[in-house]
Amino acid sequence: MILRTSRLDLREMTEDDLPALRAILQDAETMTAYEGAFDEEMVQAWLHRMRDRYRDDGFGMWAVVLRESGEMIGQCGPTVQHILDEDVLEVGYLFNRAHWHRGYATEAAAAVRDHVFRALGADRLFAQVRDMNVASMNVAIRLGMTVRGRFVKNYRGVDMPHLAFAIDAPPTGREHGVSAAPPERRRER
Ligand SMILES: CC(C)(COP(=O)(O)OP(=O)(O)OC[C@H]1O[C@@H](n2cnc3c(N)ncnc32)[C@H](O)[C@@H]1OP(=O)(O)O)[C@@H](O)C(=O)NCCC(=O)NCCS
């Protein structure tokens, strides 16, 4: 186990997670910003790339597990990405569509943000967001990020305009608050 939040556990992905990974990466709607669903070969390559990242960097996109059911409902974690002409740390988040709109992505990404600043000692965390991905922008905003610039990323042979969101590490000893609804309001939803 890498991280734990009130509802979620984050841990490394393994081959056992392939069915849950397929449910995310092979869903056309989920993968709109990635230019469409992945085929089996791309799913396998994604998992193997993450496992290489765990080995080489000590981190990568982790499995997000809903503690109450034990189900892997998404992926979230830091990776090194080339953004605005620099190699930087970025938080990624991709969730199974059945689990959207419950605050899980923001909850997981906030834990990753705090971990990156506290445990990895980073001074800035980015989120790269394709210009049409409003849900992802809203997660970045809930994390306290602001837009630092625009860039074009070539992925799957397509030039995709992106926004570079980022948040700077808080002064030592302090934590970022997440702008989420207070507990009473959250229960009503
Ligand atoms: C990006 C993505 C993870 C965002 O998911 P999301 O469900 O919109 O975001 P969250 O999990 O943070 O949930 C926030 C929503 O839950 C609601 N919510 C419900 N219960 C909540 C709770 N207990 N706490 C906080 N928010 C809660 C919020 O009000 C918000 O509502 P809204 O969707 O109407 O705005 C999702 O759209 C996704 O997986 N997309 C495909 C992959 C992708 O594009 N990833 C980003 C690449 S850059």
Half-sphere exposure of 120 (CA within 13 A, CB side): 25
Please report the pLDDT score of residue 177 as a whole number: 59
**Mutation pick for ligand 1 pocket among 8, 62, 95, 153 (CB with most ligand atoms within 8 Å):** 95
Q: What is the pLDDT of residues 6-41, one digit of tens each?
A: 999 999 999 999 999 999 999 999 999 999 999 999
Average of per-residue pLDDT across 152-181: 82
pLDDT of 174: 60
Instruction: Quote the pTM value.
Output: 0.92
Query: Given its phi and psi angles, is residue 36 left (phi above 0), alpha (psi -120 to 50 degrees) or beta?
Result: left
Name the band, by pLDDT with cuts 50, 70 and 90, for residue 188.
Answer: very low
Indicate whether 186 pLDDT > 50: no
How buried is residue 162: exposed, middle or buried, by Cβ count under 10 Å (0-12/13-18/19+)?
buried
pLDDT of 54-78, one tens digit each? 999 999 999 999 999 999 999 999 9
Query: Which is the CATH superfamily of the domain at 3-188?
Result: Gcn5-related N-acetyltransferase (GNAT) (3.40.630.30)
Q: What's the one-letter identity of residue 95? A: F
Where do the structural domains in the chain lie, given as residue ranges?
3-188
Cα 100 off chain centre by: 13
Q: Is 33 in the pocket of ligand 1 (CB under 6 A)?
A: yes
* Amino acid letter for position 102: R
Q: Residue 187: is its pLDDT beyond 50?
A: no
